[in-house]
Amino acid sequence: MDDDIILETSGLTKEFKGFFAVHSVALRVRRGDIHALIGPNGAGKTTCFNLLTKFLAPTEGTIHYKGRDITRANPADIARMGLVRSFQISAVFPNLTALENVRVALQRKLGNSFQFWRSERSLLGLHERAEELLDSVGLADFRDVPAGELAYGRKRALEIATTLALDPEMLLLDEPMAGMAHGDVDRVAQLIRRVSANRTILMVEHNLSVVADLSDRITVLQRGEVLAEGTYAEISSNPEVIEAYMGSGHD
Protein backbone atom coordinates (compact mmCIF):
# COMPACT_ATOMS: atom_id res chain seq x y z
CA MET A 1 0.00 0.00 0.00
CA ASP A 2 1.04 3.55 -0.71
CA ASP A 3 2.83 5.06 2.26
CA ASP A 4 1.31 8.43 1.55
CA ILE A 5 -2.20 7.15 2.08
CA ILE A 6 -3.23 7.15 5.74
CA LEU A 7 -6.79 5.93 5.27
CA GLU A 8 -8.13 3.82 2.45
CA THR A 9 -11.42 2.04 1.90
CA SER A 10 -12.38 -0.28 -0.88
CA GLY A 11 -15.84 -1.46 -1.76
CA LEU A 12 -17.16 0.03 1.48
CA THR A 13 -20.86 -0.73 1.68
CA LYS A 14 -23.55 -0.32 4.31
CA GLU A 15 -26.98 -1.71 3.72
CA PHE A 16 -29.97 -0.92 5.94
CA LYS A 17 -32.65 -3.47 5.13
CA GLY A 18 -32.24 -3.32 1.36
CA PHE A 19 -31.33 0.36 1.29
CA PHE A 20 -27.71 1.14 0.46
CA ALA A 21 -26.73 4.16 2.55
CA VAL A 22 -23.12 3.71 1.44
CA HIS A 23 -22.41 1.75 -1.72
CA SER A 24 -19.02 0.50 -2.80
CA VAL A 25 -17.10 3.57 -1.71
CA ALA A 26 -13.38 3.76 -2.42
CA LEU A 27 -11.89 6.57 -0.42
CA ARG A 28 -8.21 7.45 -0.24
CA VAL A 29 -7.05 10.09 2.20
CA ARG A 30 -3.47 11.33 1.94
CA ARG A 31 -1.45 11.84 5.08
CA GLY A 32 -1.41 15.52 6.08
CA ASP A 33 -4.31 16.58 3.88
CA ILE A 34 -7.50 18.32 4.79
CA HIS A 35 -9.91 16.16 2.87
CA ALA A 36 -13.53 17.21 2.55
CA LEU A 37 -16.46 14.88 2.11
CA ILE A 38 -19.41 16.71 0.63
CA GLY A 39 -22.78 15.82 -0.79
CA PRO A 40 -26.46 16.53 -0.30
CA ASN A 41 -28.31 15.50 2.85
CA GLY A 42 -28.78 11.77 3.03
CA ALA A 43 -25.81 11.11 0.75
CA GLY A 44 -24.25 8.82 3.35
CA LYS A 45 -21.55 11.04 4.80
CA THR A 46 -22.35 10.42 8.46
CA THR A 47 -22.83 6.73 7.76
CA CYS A 48 -19.38 6.74 6.18
CA PHE A 49 -17.93 8.27 9.36
CA ASN A 50 -19.71 5.67 11.45
CA LEU A 51 -18.20 2.94 9.32
CA LEU A 52 -14.71 4.42 9.45
CA THR A 53 -14.80 4.75 13.24
CA LYS A 54 -16.51 1.37 13.68
CA PHE A 55 -19.70 2.74 15.20
CA LEU A 56 -21.33 0.73 12.43
CA ALA A 57 -20.12 -2.54 10.94
CA PRO A 58 -19.81 -2.48 7.15
CA THR A 59 -21.94 -4.88 5.15
CA GLU A 60 -19.05 -5.27 2.73
CA GLY A 61 -15.66 -3.82 1.97
CA THR A 62 -12.46 -3.13 3.84
CA ILE A 63 -10.91 -0.21 5.70
CA HIS A 64 -7.17 0.25 6.09
CA TYR A 65 -5.70 2.82 8.44
CA LYS A 66 -1.95 3.35 8.45
CA GLY A 67 -1.58 0.14 6.50
CA ARG A 68 -3.53 -1.91 9.03
CA ASP A 69 -6.82 -3.58 8.29
CA ILE A 70 -9.26 -2.07 10.78
CA THR A 71 -12.42 -3.45 9.19
CA ARG A 72 -13.15 -5.50 12.27
CA ALA A 73 -11.68 -3.34 15.04
CA ASN A 74 -13.87 -1.84 17.77
CA PRO A 75 -14.50 1.90 18.12
CA ALA A 76 -12.53 2.46 21.34
CA ASP A 77 -9.46 0.84 19.81
CA ILE A 78 -9.77 2.97 16.68
CA ALA A 79 -9.56 6.03 18.89
CA ARG A 80 -6.54 4.56 20.63
CA MET A 81 -4.85 4.22 17.25
CA GLY A 82 -5.15 7.96 16.77
CA LEU A 83 -8.24 8.12 14.56
CA VAL A 84 -10.68 10.29 16.47
CA ARG A 85 -14.04 11.63 15.39
CA SER A 86 -16.45 14.36 16.36
CA PHE A 87 -20.20 13.97 16.01
CA GLN A 88 -22.68 15.77 13.84
CA ILE A 89 -24.88 16.45 16.84
CA SER A 90 -22.65 18.14 19.34
CA ALA A 91 -21.37 15.58 21.79
CA VAL A 92 -20.31 16.83 25.18
CA PHE A 93 -20.68 15.44 28.69
CA PRO A 94 -23.45 17.79 29.88
CA ASN A 95 -23.07 17.28 33.63
CA LEU A 96 -19.30 17.68 33.61
CA THR A 97 -17.77 21.14 33.56
CA ALA A 98 -15.95 22.35 30.46
CA LEU A 99 -12.66 21.64 32.18
CA GLU A 100 -13.74 18.13 33.15
CA ASN A 101 -14.87 17.45 29.59
CA VAL A 102 -11.39 18.13 28.28
CA ARG A 103 -9.71 16.51 31.25
CA VAL A 104 -11.53 13.22 30.81
CA ALA A 105 -10.00 13.01 27.34
CA LEU A 106 -6.53 13.83 28.65
CA GLN A 107 -6.99 11.39 31.50
CA ARG A 108 -7.01 8.24 29.40
CA LYS A 109 -3.32 8.32 28.65
CA LEU A 110 -2.56 8.64 32.36
CA GLY A 111 -3.63 5.03 32.72
CA ASN A 112 -5.28 5.49 36.12
CA SER A 113 -8.85 5.47 34.94
CA PHE A 114 -9.81 2.30 36.78
CA GLN A 115 -8.48 3.58 40.09
CA PHE A 116 -11.65 4.13 42.05
CA TRP A 117 -9.74 4.45 45.30
CA ARG A 118 -7.67 7.46 44.25
CA SER A 119 -8.64 11.05 44.78
CA GLU A 120 -9.62 13.33 41.96
CA ARG A 121 -6.62 15.38 43.01
CA SER A 122 -4.48 12.90 41.12
CA LEU A 123 -5.85 14.61 38.00
CA LEU A 124 -4.67 18.11 38.97
CA GLY A 125 -1.59 17.68 36.82
CA LEU A 126 -3.81 17.72 33.74
CA HIS A 127 -5.37 21.10 34.48
CA GLU A 128 -2.69 23.20 32.86
CA ARG A 129 -3.01 21.39 29.53
CA ALA A 130 -6.82 21.35 29.80
CA GLU A 131 -6.88 25.10 30.39
CA GLU A 132 -4.59 25.65 27.42
CA LEU A 133 -6.98 23.67 25.22
CA LEU A 134 -10.01 25.56 26.52
CA ASP A 135 -8.21 28.81 25.88
CA SER A 136 -7.40 27.78 22.32
CA VAL A 137 -11.11 27.53 21.56
CA GLY A 138 -12.05 30.65 23.51
CA LEU A 139 -13.61 28.87 26.47
CA ALA A 140 -11.14 29.96 29.15
CA ASP A 141 -13.86 31.84 31.02
CA PHE A 142 -16.19 28.86 31.05
CA ARG A 143 -13.95 26.25 32.62
CA ASP A 144 -16.27 25.63 35.58
CA VAL A 145 -19.57 25.82 33.73
CA PRO A 146 -21.38 22.52 33.18
CA ALA A 147 -21.15 21.75 29.48
CA GLY A 148 -24.91 21.30 29.27
CA GLU A 149 -25.38 24.98 30.09
CA LEU A 150 -23.14 26.26 27.30
CA ALA A 151 -24.60 27.86 24.18
CA TYR A 152 -24.63 25.68 21.08
CA GLY A 153 -21.60 27.24 19.40
CA ARG A 154 -19.60 26.87 22.58
CA LYS A 155 -20.56 23.24 22.91
CA ARG A 156 -19.13 22.66 19.45
CA ALA A 157 -15.99 24.52 20.44
CA LEU A 158 -15.71 22.38 23.58
CA GLU A 159 -16.13 19.25 21.52
CA ILE A 160 -13.25 20.31 19.29
CA ALA A 161 -11.06 21.05 22.32
CA THR A 162 -11.92 17.63 23.77
CA THR A 163 -11.08 15.92 20.50
CA LEU A 164 -7.78 17.79 20.26
CA ALA A 165 -6.94 16.75 23.81
CA LEU A 166 -6.29 13.28 22.44
CA ASP A 167 -3.72 14.75 20.05
CA PRO A 168 -5.07 12.52 17.29
CA GLU A 169 -3.08 11.69 14.21
CA MET A 170 -6.23 11.83 12.14
CA LEU A 171 -9.41 13.79 12.85
CA LEU A 172 -12.86 13.10 11.46
CA LEU A 173 -15.08 16.16 11.83
CA ASP A 174 -18.76 15.78 11.01
CA GLU A 175 -20.12 19.24 10.14
CA PRO A 176 -18.03 21.08 12.72
CA MET A 177 -19.58 24.43 11.83
CA ALA A 178 -23.21 23.44 11.60
CA GLY A 179 -25.39 25.81 13.57
CA MET A 180 -22.60 28.28 14.29
CA ALA A 181 -22.87 32.03 13.96
CA HIS A 182 -21.08 33.64 11.04
CA GLY A 183 -18.15 34.97 13.03
CA ASP A 184 -17.62 31.63 14.72
CA VAL A 185 -17.37 29.83 11.39
CA ASP A 186 -14.28 31.82 10.49
CA ARG A 187 -12.72 31.14 13.83
CA VAL A 188 -13.30 27.41 13.63
CA ALA A 189 -11.93 27.43 10.10
CA GLN A 190 -8.79 29.11 11.41
CA LEU A 191 -8.55 26.60 14.23
CA ILE A 192 -8.92 23.69 11.83
CA ARG A 193 -6.20 25.07 9.64
CA ARG A 194 -3.95 25.57 12.62
CA VAL A 195 -4.39 22.09 14.05
CA SER A 196 -4.05 20.51 10.62
CA ALA A 197 -0.35 21.35 10.62
CA ASN A 198 0.77 17.90 11.69
CA ARG A 199 -2.28 15.78 11.19
CA THR A 200 -4.77 14.55 8.67
CA ILE A 201 -8.33 15.81 8.68
CA LEU A 202 -11.36 14.34 7.00
CA MET A 203 -14.35 16.61 7.36
CA VAL A 204 -17.95 16.77 6.29
CA GLU A 205 -18.98 20.33 5.65
CA HIS A 206 -21.85 22.02 3.86
CA ASN A 207 -20.36 25.49 3.74
CA LEU A 208 -18.69 25.39 0.31
CA SER A 209 -16.63 28.50 0.78
CA VAL A 210 -15.09 26.89 3.85
CA VAL A 211 -14.52 23.71 1.88
CA ALA A 212 -12.93 25.67 -0.98
CA ASP A 213 -10.75 27.54 1.43
CA LEU A 214 -9.52 24.65 3.57
CA SER A 215 -9.49 21.45 1.58
CA ASP A 216 -6.65 19.90 -0.32
CA ARG A 217 -8.94 17.30 -1.79
CA ILE A 218 -12.66 16.77 -2.00
CA THR A 219 -14.80 13.70 -2.44
CA VAL A 220 -18.40 14.17 -3.53
CA LEU A 221 -20.91 11.58 -2.38
CA GLN A 222 -24.35 11.13 -3.85
CA ARG A 223 -26.86 8.46 -2.86
CA GLY A 224 -24.15 6.49 -1.14
CA GLU A 225 -21.75 6.50 -4.08
CA VAL A 226 -18.69 8.52 -4.98
CA LEU A 227 -19.66 10.94 -7.70
CA ALA A 228 -16.33 12.69 -8.11
CA GLU A 229 -13.03 13.29 -6.42
CA GLY A 230 -10.36 15.94 -6.86
CA THR A 231 -9.28 19.44 -5.95
CA TYR A 232 -11.84 22.17 -5.54
CA ALA A 233 -11.08 23.47 -9.01
CA GLU A 234 -11.61 20.03 -10.54
CA ILE A 235 -14.75 19.35 -8.56
CA SER A 236 -16.36 22.70 -9.18
CA SER A 237 -15.89 22.39 -12.93
CA ASN A 238 -17.19 18.82 -13.08
CA PRO A 239 -20.53 18.98 -14.93
CA GLU A 240 -21.96 15.99 -13.06
CA VAL A 241 -21.23 17.63 -9.72
CA ILE A 242 -22.68 20.94 -10.83
CA GLU A 243 -25.76 19.11 -12.03
CA ALA A 244 -26.23 16.92 -8.95
CA TYR A 245 -25.07 19.07 -6.12
CA MET A 246 -24.03 22.63 -6.69
CA GLY A 247 -26.77 23.36 -9.16
CA SER A 248 -29.44 22.51 -6.64
CA GLY A 249 -28.61 22.95 -2.96
CA HIS A 250 -25.86 25.56 -2.89
CA ASP A 251 -26.68 29.19 -2.13
Partner 1 sequence: MNGRIIAAAALAIGILAPFTGIYTVFLMKALCFALFACAFNLLLGFAGLLSFGHAAFFGLAAYVTAHGVKEWGLTPELGILAGTAVAAVLGLGFGGLAIRRQGIYFAMITLALSQMVYFFCLQAPFTHGEDGIQAVPRGYLFGFIDLMQPMNMYYTVLAIFVFGFAVIHRAVHSPFGQVLKAIRDNEQRAISLGYRTERYKLAAFVLSAALAGMAGSTKALVFQLASLTDAHWHASGEVVLMTLLGGMGTIAGPAVGAFLVVAIQNYLAESGAWVTIIQGVIFIIVVLSFRRGILGEVVGFVAKRKATPAAKPLEPRPASAITGE
User: Does residue 152 touch ligand ADP according to CB under 6 A?
Assistant: no
Applying CB under 6 A, the span of 42-50, 99-107, 139-147, 189-197 interacting with ligand ADP comes to: 42-50
Contacting ligand ADP (CB under 6 A), which of 4, 11, 16, 140?
16
Rounded to whole angstroms, how far apart are CA atoms 195 and 208?
A: 20
Nearer to Mg ion, 133 or 221 (CB): 221
Helices (H), the chain: 45-52, 75-80, 98-107, 127-136, 152-165, 182-195, 208-214, 232-236, 239-241
If residue 26 lies in a helix (H) or strand (E), which one and from where to where?
strand 19-30
| Binding track, positions 13-52, relative to partner 1; x by CB under 8 A | ----------------------------------------
Q: CA of 116: how far to CAs of 97, 104, 120, in Å?
A: 20, 14, 9
- Contacted entry of Mg ion, ligand ADP, partner 1, none for residue 92, CB cut-off 5 to 8 Å set by kind: partner 1
Smallest gap from residue 96 Cβ to Mg ion (A): 26
Using the contact rule CB under 6 A, the part of the chain among 44-52, 92-100, 140-148, 237-245 near ligand ADP is: 44-52
Identify the CA nearest to 220 among candidates 42, 90, 40: 40
Residue nearest to Mg ion (CB): 46
CB of 159 vs Mg ion, minimal distance in Å: 15
- Told to check if 47 binds ligand ADP by CB under 6 A, we report yes
* Binding of partner 1 by 114 (CB under 8 A): yes
Whichever of 41 and 198 has its CB closer to Mg ion, that residue is 41
Neighbours of 225 (CB within 10 A): 16
Chain centre distance of CA 43: 17
Intra-chain end-to-end CA distance of the chain, in Å = 40
**Site residues (CB under 8 A) for partner 1, limited to 72-111:** 74-77, 79-80, 84-87, 91-96, 100, 103-105, 107-108, 110
41 forms part of the interface with ligand ADP (CB under 6 A): yes
Q: Return residues touching ligand ADP (CB under 6 A).
A: 16, 21, 39, 41-47
